[in-house]
Amino acid sequence: MKDIRTVGVAGSGTMGAGIAIVCARAGFDTIVYDTRADALERAREQTKAFFGKSVARGKLKAEELPGILARLKYVTSLDALSGCDLVIEAVYEDLKVKHELFSALNPLVGEDTIFASNTSTISITEIAGGSGRDDRFVGMHFCLPAQLMRLVEMSPGLNTSEKTFERAWAFCKALGQNPVKTQDSPGFILNYFLIPFNNDAIRLVEQGVAEPADVDVAIKTAMGYAMGPFELLDLIGMDTVVLLCEAMHGLTHEQRATCPALVKRMIAAGHLGRKSGRGFHSYGDTKMFGA
């Protein structure tokens, strides 16, 4: 079984772009796929800005930058992922969309190619069941923002082979990430706690208990979090938040996982978060977090 050298990332949104940064920075040839050329261009520009800021802050040597950027390729053709040793999916939290992606990709790649999903709520076994290679499928949930956070939740499906999981785990370590093993359970570790917690924070605002900025200050100051819940929600994006809530509630029927009405009103108003320049907070630009 050959080493993982070339990585495909399907989806160029906030998570996909961040995962691609992690892979290219660690020395892997990285191909970012999306059906939307404008989304790919936005990811490319955000990535350049992020690495430029890394150089300016002394976190990356200037001479390393050309090599990293050269390892990144952006494509709109699924065929371009045919030579990948691992493909990480980072598309919408919709089982049908994920199945369509993997079923189309399966005949294009080699027998040893591993499929991974960055899902944070949907069952790995269910996604793998529509992939055509459920024994070579693993959950790899990168934490947001992937380019800054080191944690990855690694989850085997019921049919994931031991060799596949070990190979994916070794790859994760080669990225410089800290993997933790979780079972294939709704929300894994982080979102099991985080989705209800964030929804509770939103309901505080809905009820007029406090403003988003004050909630963020309280949580960061008293609990030591790097970001407040509303800063994180704006980073995730309201359009993604509603999908996460719907997926989590559909699996658990937990009332606290139900999407607050305020989120849907914000989507209708175009207040998606950092990506649109306004969410619970307002932003002067739509640069990638950390750039």
Could you say which of 54, 123, 131, 141 is catalytic? 141
Q: What H or E segment, with its residue span, contains residue 104?
A: helix 95-105
Catalytic residue chosen out of the listed positions 117, 118, 155, 191? 191
| CATH class for the domain made up of 191-276 | mainly alpha
Its pTM stands at: 0.89
Give the three-state DSSP class for 272: coil
> Is 141 annotated as catalytic?
yes
Classify domain 6-181 at the CATH class level.
alpha beta
Whether 120 is catalytic: yes
Task: Give the active site residue among 120, 198, 199, 276.
Answer: 120
Helix (H) or strand (E) holding 268: helix 261-268
Beta strands in the chain (DSSP E): 6-10, 29-33, 72-75, 86-89, 114-117, 137-142, 151-156, 178-181
Distance of CA 11 to the CA centre of its chain: 9
Active-site residue, selected from the candidate residues 153, 231, 271, 276: 153
Q: Do 6-181 and 191-276 share a fold?
A: no
Residue 177 structure tokens: 């990430």
Per-domain boundaries in the chain = 6-181, 191-276
Per residue of the chain (291 residues), what is the pLDDT tens digit?
568 999 999 999 999 999 999 999 999 999 999 999 999 999 999 999 999 999 999 999 999 999 999 999 999 999 999 999 999 999 988 899 999 999 999 999 999 999 999 998 899 999 999 999 999 999 999 998 999 999 999 999 999 999 999 999 999 999 999 999 999 998 999 999 999 999 999 999 999 999 999 999 999 999 999 999 999 999 999 999 999 999 899 888 999 999 999 999 999 999 999 999 999 999 987 676 665
